[in-house]
Chains A and B, each alone.
Chain A
Amino acid sequence: MTAERLPRTATASRRPLRLAASLALPVVVIVAWWFASAGSTSPFFPPLQTILATFGENWLSSRVVTDVLPSLGRMLAGFAIAVVVGVVLGALLGRLPIVSYALNPVLQFGRALPATALVPVSIVLLGIGDLPKILLIAFVTVFPVMLNTIDGVRNVDAVLEDATRSYRLTRAQRALLVQLPAAAPQILAGMRIALSVAFVMMVVTELFAAVNGIGYVTLQAQQSFQVALMWSGILLLGILGVLVNGLFVLVERRLLRWYAQDRED
């Protein structure tokens, strides 16, 4: 097991270089933006300094509680529902081919519906407030999770299937201990797609019939000509998007350690 630690230290020594390479362009862009916009009198492109000041006044103070947390809370709630429903349904459908044939046309239709087209419908059917937004996020994000789960549990290695049958594992044991872990790489890939879709839906649902949230504030700022606030909202969305995705990648890497190592052989 010492042998397998070696390459890891080798990559560790190259890590600062990689980090520097990935940070170079963002730094250049920010510096360029800073100097190009400094002293700008255009009402549409305020100086970066002003945007950052607005950012601090709004997004780093009271709006964290009144807007940022509600936004993220709705997104995560919708995403969590989608993951639970998607994995459970996907595992069932993947293992019951006849049911999945029966449901496939409906699933494909649901997946193909443009998510934004559902916003007005959800307001009509479910009203305004948090619940319709959460349910809409869940509905849209459930598809990538479920379809990937179906695919994953179907493709469990034939030898491993033989082994688990030969050792007489129960249906439940096979599902929980074998099929779902074996499908984990595909499930997590589906969850990653779902997460970015959830992020988009978080903003979209706040553009209609909303009373708070990052998307709501950003849209209100645009409509009331608070351009710096609008830009700062967009900036915040970008930063949050990167952070959320980065966190997910960390979790994914931790969960799929066996998968990465297995492929190296």
Chain B
Amino acid sequence: MLTVQQLQKSYTSGGRSREVLRDVTFTVEEGEFVTVVGPSGAGKTTLLRCLAGLLPRSGGSVTLTGTGKVVDSPPPEIACVFQDYSRSLMPWFKVSRNVAIPLANTIRDRGERRRAVERALADVGLAGFESSYPWQLSGGMQQRVAIARAIAYRPQFLIMDEPFASVDAQTRADLEDLILRVRQDSGLTVVLVTHDIDEAVYLGDRVVVLSKPPTVVLDVIDVDLPRPRNQVETKGMPRFAELRTDVAKLITQATAGAPAV
């Protein structure tokens, strides 16, 4: 379980302090899929980098409740997938090497490491692309490599920052279903940040709705849609429409008026 409590983050530049996150509090239960949605500029990436231990907090805490460990630097329990696949992979290494490099410190045995890489690539539908270079692949395939790298790392938590924002609509739907399947097979706990309301509702067990900055949590909405989810059926359900309207209302209100100070 991941607990985020009164997380606060300000940036100081030129002697002036700008508050991005004011008070973000939510929890992620074991095995849960939590999506975080907010208006553009809500500090979503800032929030994620704080969760992953990549950015020091200004206040509050992020705790891995199972071990009581406070996340101050990137912990081995967390793997990240970033929005910009072309910038998060190493174009000078082949696909298999890209997936294998983070494993160098966790799996000592070479053969075992190679098998872990092959399994992860097969899981994301990239079997046979081990010796391609990332730049030889399409955007969607590159993001699959990044996902394979994350799952091969065997984390407890998968943290994703708008992972499907830079691909076309069809690829996006494919990747959404891929991540649902991977998560179901592995029992991973997932936190996914997005600006896309449909995506947040379609993927999540719960949706954390953020205000515009200085950011607070407006509401956490339970998504009581049945699983497994399906691009056509789930999105055609009246309940899906209701939920996305609820989220959309919150976000529209958030962008229309400033949050209470």
Contact = CB atoms under 8 A, between A and B. Distances in A.
Contacts of B101: 167, 169, 173, 177
Interface in B96-150: 101-102, 104-105, 132-133, 135-136, 149
Nearest to B153: A167
Interface stretch (A123-131, A188-196, A257-265): A257-265
A172 to B, nearest CB: 11
Interface in B35-76: 49, 52-54, 74, 76
B74 A166 contact: yes
A1 B95 CA distance: 14
A163 B52 CA distance: 10
Nearest to A184: B92
B3 interface: no
Contact of B49 (A162, A167, A258): A162
A162 B136 contact: no
A168 B52 contact: no
Nearest to A163: B88
A159 B82 contact: yes
A237 B76 CA distance: 57
A177 to B, nearest CB: 6
A160 B136 CA distance: 19
B74 A258 contact: no
A18 interface: no
A167 B136 contact: no
Contact of A181 (B74, B82, B92, B136): B92
A170 B102 CA distance: 10
Interface size of B as a range: 20 to 34
A88 to B, nearest CB: 19
A165 B88 contact: no
Contacts of B82: 159, 162-163
Interface residues of A, number: 24
A168 B102 contact: yes
A181 B89 CA distance: 12
B198 interface: no
A57 interface: no
A180 to B, nearest CB: 10
Contacts of B149: 167
A80 interface: no
Contacts of B178: none
Contacts of A165: 54, 74
A265 B78 CA distance: 31
B207 interface: no
Given A162-B82, A262-B86, A167 B102 contact: yes
A222 B86 CA distance: 58
Interface in A150-200: 157, 159-160, 162-163, 165-170, 173, 177-178, 181-182, 184
A184 B93 CA distance: 13
Q: Which of A1, A160, A181, A261 has the most CB of B within 10 A?
A: A160
B243 interface: no
B102 A169 contact: yes
B90 interface: yes
Interface in A61-97: none
Interface in A136-160: 157, 159-160
Q: Which of A1, A4, A258, A259 has the most CB of B within 10 A?
A: A258
Nearest to B55: A162
A166 to B, nearest CB: 4
Contacts of B135: 258, 261-262, 265
Interface string A187-228: 000000000000000000000000000000000000000000
Interface of A: 1, 4, 157, 159-160, 162-163, 165-170, 173, 177-178, 181-182, 184, 258-259, 261-262, 265
24 contacts: A1-B136, A4-B136, A159-B82, A159-B83, A160-B88, A162-B49, A163-B82, A166-B52, A166-B53, A166-B78, A166-B80, A167-B80, A167-B102, A167-B149, A167-B153, A168-B105, A169-B101, A169-B105, A173-B104, A177-B93, A178-B90, A261-B135, A262-B135, A265-B135
Interface of B: 49, 52-54, 74, 76, 78-80, 82-84, 86-93, 101-102, 104-105, 132-133, 135-136, 149, 153
Given A160-B88, A173-B105, A184-B92, 5 more contacts: A162-B49, A162-B54, A163-B88, A163-B89, A167-B79
